[in-house]
Structure formats: structure tokens, C-alpha cells
Amino acid sequence: MILPVVKYGDPVLTKEGSEVDEFDGKLAEFVENMFETMYTERGCGLAAPQVALSKKLFVMDCRGGKDPAHRIALINPRIVETKDIQVGEEGCLSFPGIYFEVERPRIVTVSAYDIHGKEFTIEVEDLEARCVLHETDHLFGRVFIEYLSPLKKDLIKRKIKKRIKLGDWE
Ligand code: CO
């Protein structure tokens, strides 16, 4: 089932999600729906708050479904270590049409639980590292415009307000 993606302005995107504590069939089904939604919307990651569930989990696949090994659900993720720096363009399904450069670590070690409640640790780099950090931010209520200078952030917020008024933000 494809879930509606919440856009910036909805309070669910700016509050911290709670930890997942039930690893049951309902969770597995929700994760499946998140993957389906992410592939349909052509995102490389999707966090639960973006589909209005204020919980700490996200899905990602930076290969667009071409390699099952890169199709990962991370539940209650914890960033263990970061290394190096990368600068690259970022977008977000909750900010349609808005892209800008963000500086982030280039290598990330992250621990998380899978849908069965089994803990695992992976090291990812480049685009996947960017994705893990961007999506983990969502779980804590942080959106990527927070990385902009106050001036640029204001500019983007004004642009969004205008689009909301025009009905161009759904
Ligand atoms: Co996002």
C-alpha cells in the first residue's frame, strides 16, 4: 500500500519519534508499505515521520531496487561513528522540488534493529552515508533545511509559504 507522504509544515516532521518496541507482523507490514511508497516516489530513503508515524525507523535503497542487498530497514538506529566529510546535493520527499548542497560525514557506522528485532551494524559511505544521516535526522525531528544559513533558510521557508498559498505543496 502506498502511504501519503507528509510535507514540511506538518508538526510530525519536527518532533522526535518514539522507539519501536514491538517487532510484530504489523511492523513488517508497515515497513513493506514504506518500501513501496519510497520506490513509487523515487526516494533513496523514507523515514516513518514522513508517513505520519512518529517512530524511530526508516527504509533506504540507494540502488532503486536493483540490488536486494541495498534494500535496508533500520529500526531504532544509532550512529556509532562518522568519518571524513562530503558535500553534495540533497533533496527530501517532504520538500518537493527543493534541493541544495549539504556538508555531511562521508563514512558512517550505524547500529540498528531489523524487523525481527535482531541488532546489526553496518558501515556505509558516500550517498548511503548521506541517506542514513538525513533519515536518522528525521527520527529526531530534524529536517535538512536546518543545515542552511539563517538567511538561506528564511528564503526557502518564504518560498514554501508561497507554494502552500498557491496550493502547490501537496
Ligand atoms: Co527527508
Residue 28 belongs to some domain of the structure: yes
Residue 112 belongs to some domain of the structure: yes
* pLDDT of 28 higher than 90: yes
Distance 1 CA to ligand 1 centre (A): 20
- Residue 139's pLDDT band (boundaries 50, 70, 90)? very high
Mean predicted lDDT score pLDDT of the chain = 97
Residue 3 belongs to some domain of the structure: no
| Domain span at 47 | 11-165
Identify the CATH number of the domain in which residue 57 sits: 3.90.45.10
Instruction: Give pLDDT, residue 3.
Output: 98
> Which of 81, 128, 135, 170 is the catalytic position?
135
Residue 152 belongs to some domain of the structure: yes
Give this prediction's pTM. 0.96
* pLDDT of 170 higher than 90: no
Residue range 63-74: average pLDDT?
Answer: 93
Residue 2 belongs to some domain of the structure: no
Q: What residue has cell string 538561506? A: 152
As a 3-state breakdown, the chain gives helix, strand, coil percent values, each rounded to 5, of 35, 30, 35
Q: Give just the sign of the alpha carbon dihedral 36, 41, 45, 46.
A: negative
Residue range 105-112: average pLDDT?
Answer: 98
Residue 170 belongs to some domain of the structure: no
Q: Which residues fall inside 5 Å of ion ligand 1, going by CB? A: 92
